[in-house]
């Protein structure tokens, strides 16, 4: 088995049909499928990233189509350190759902201390675009999210979107977790595998 220093759980969320499954298959297998089918079978796929001489294994969770019914459960989000919230640049409603529904649910289940990358997918469909880059960027900015546009079809920015997210998670862990810092100060990469998780925050009773 491939060895790694840290394991980060990442989740993919967003409306049905925005391209979550294809972004993941493009990242991990270099594959794109034009078929519209509900995701079946795969719970997550993994991919390793190298940062500061450390091997970070990203375990990236994909939904099994349950987002269609907005029925994602807290188990899906448990232990998440980072999320990719995906919308489709040809469908405006998917952007408003990204910030209203998906971001709210993510924060509710995962707490505030996670890194989020918002992704406007399907840039290859420029002629059908209804969400401008500026509009997506503004929505991301006003919610303090990282932002990129991608195409799961031609692969543009796919690697970059995940890579930037993993790096942001890594930087945040480094500032939050004393043990993590200690491991980083060693000259050799840490030999012990370590699963970094954050505990769910208790919900505040009022706002």
Ligand X SMILES: Nc1nc2c(ncn2[C@@H]2O[C@H](COP(=O)(O)OP(=O)(O)O)[C@@H](O)[C@H]2O)c(=O)[nH]1
Q: Using alpha carbons, select from 102, 191, 181, 99 the residue that is nearest to residue 137.
A: 99
Binding residues among 7-46 for Mg ion as defined by CB under 5 A: 20-21, 39
Find out whether 94 and 18 touch, Cβ atoms under 8 Å.
Answer: yes
Q: Which region, left, alpha or beta, applies to residue 108 given φ > 0 means left and ψ of -120 to 50 means alpha? A: alpha
DSSP one-letter string for 76-140: HHTT--EEEEEEETT-HHHHHHIIIIIHHHHHHHH-S--EEEEEEE-TT-GGG--S-HHHHHHHH
- CB-side exposure of 137: number of CA atoms within 13 Å? 4
Site mask for ligand X (CB under 6 A), range 139-168, x = bound:
------------xxx---------------
Q: Pick the stretch among 3-11, 29-37, 50-58, 186-194 that binds ligand X (CB under 6 A).
A: 29-37
Task: Give yes or no for residue 36 binding ligand X (CB under 6 A).
Answer: yes
Task: Give yes or no for residue 124 binding ligand X (CB under 6 A).
Answer: yes
The residue from 64, 125, 135, 168 that contacts ligand X (CB under 6 A) is 125
| Tokens (6 digits) for 30 | 């270099």
The residue from 11, 13, 18, 166 that contacts ligand X (CB under 6 A) is 18
Q: Pick the stretch among 32-40, 45-53, 136-144, 197-205 that binds ligand X (CB under 6 A).
A: 32-40
Closest contact distance (angstroms) between CB of 74 and ligand X is 20
The residue from 22, 94, 97, 110 that contacts ligand X (CB under 6 A) is 22
Enumerate binding residues for ligand X (CB under 6 A). Answer: 16-22, 33-36, 39, 121-122, 124-125, 151-153
């Amino acid at each position: 088995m491939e060895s790694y220093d840290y394991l980060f759980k990442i989740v993919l969320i967003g409306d049905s049909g925005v391209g979550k499954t294809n972004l993941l298959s493009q990242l991990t297998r270099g594959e794109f499928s034009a078929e519209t089918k509900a995701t079946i079978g795969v719970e997550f796929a993994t991919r390793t990233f190298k940062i500061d001489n450390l091997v970070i294994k990203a375990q990236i969770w994909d939904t099994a189509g349950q987002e269609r019914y907005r029925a994602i459960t807290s188990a899906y989000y448990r232990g998440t350190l980072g999320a990719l919230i995906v919308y489709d640049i040809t469908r405006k409603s998917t952007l408003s759902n990204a910030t209203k529904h998906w971001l709210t649910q993510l924060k509710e289940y995962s707490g505030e201390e996670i890194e989020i990358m918002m992704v406007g997918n399907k840039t290859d469909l420029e002629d059908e675009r209804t969400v401008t880059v500026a509009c997506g960027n503004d929505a991301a900015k006003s919610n303090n999210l990282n932002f990129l546009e991608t195409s799961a079809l031609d692969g543009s920015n796919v690697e970059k979107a995940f890579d930037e997210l993993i790096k942001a998670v890594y930087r945040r862990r480094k500032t939050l977790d004393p043990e993590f810092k200690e491991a980083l100060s060693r000259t050799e990469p840490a030999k012990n595998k370590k699963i970094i998780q954050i505990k769910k925050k208790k919900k505040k009773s009022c706002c």
